[in-house]
Amino acid sequence: MTAPVDLDRLLTALELAPQRPSSDYDLNAAAAPPEGRVLRPAAVLIGVLGRELILTKRASHLKHHPGQIAFPGGKVDPTDADATATALREAQEEIGLDPASVTVLADLPTHEAVTGYLINPVLARIERDFTPTADPAEVAEVFRVPLAHVLDPARYRIEKRRWRGVWRQYYVVPFGPYYIWGATARMLKALADRVTP
């Protein structure tokens, strides 16, 4: 019988072999990243509470990525000591997660988003349950997804759409009414591939 997919199993898998950085270009070999691009640093918190992953649905009025599913996170501020500080600050601002209740477990390889961000995912254990307080300026909803769902490679599929006049492929890992896709799904797929090589 296969062991249940949980955070400890994921951590063991991450220790066995290093991960590579990922990119929105991974499925789009014909579309090379622009020459001379300048990537803006950002960080997200991949927060696990028990056997569940915390995700957000971005507010529909936002200029960038409205209504999309995302990890709590955002761009690095000059006052942030490092990517972990960014991820924890953003999670506190966006969903009311107290940094004191978070244990950072791993600084994961970066992900280059086609929108020009270099995202540093920070994997963390949320030590105690909390009632999320969504910042309405940025977050429409905070919800949970079973970790086993997003760590199962069979749950992923590849879809495509036109973006800036070009067809682009991307991963999706739907969960109930939530359409998890793009950079969020790609970072989760990298973790799923580590657990089930």
Residue 146: the pLDDT is 96
* Residue 100: Cβ within 10 Å count: 9
The total number of residues written for the chain in this structure:
197
Q: What angle do CA 8, 14, 15 make, to 5 degrees?
A: 95
Cα dihedral across residues 28, 30, 31, 35: positive or negative: positive
Domain boundaries, the chain: 7-20+37-195
Q: What is the pLDDT of residue 197?
A: 63
Distance CA 84, CA 8 (A): 20
- pLDDT tens-digit profile, the chain (197 residues): 344 567 888 888 888 877 789 998 899 877 777 788 899 999 999 999 999 999 999 887 766 666 789 999 999 999 999 999 999 999 999 999 999 999 999 999 999 998 899 999 999 999 999 999 999 999 999 999 999 999 999 999 999 988 777 788 999 999 999 999 999 999 999 999 988 76
Beta-carbon contacts of 186 under 8 Å, excluding residues fewer than 6 positions away, are 22, 23, 24, 26, 111, 170, 171
pLDDT at 69: 96
Q: What is the pLDDT of residue 1?
A: 35
3-state secondary structure at position 108: coil
Q: What is the pLDDT of residue 65?
A: 65
CATH 3.90.79.10 fits 7-20+37-195, yes or no: yes
Residues 6+ apart with CB under 8 A from 64: 115
pLDDT of residue 2: 46
Strands annotated E in 50-195: 52-58, 69-70, 73-75, 102-107, 111-112, 117-126, 139-146, 157-163, 166-172
Q: Are 102 and 126 in contact (CB under 8 A)?
A: yes
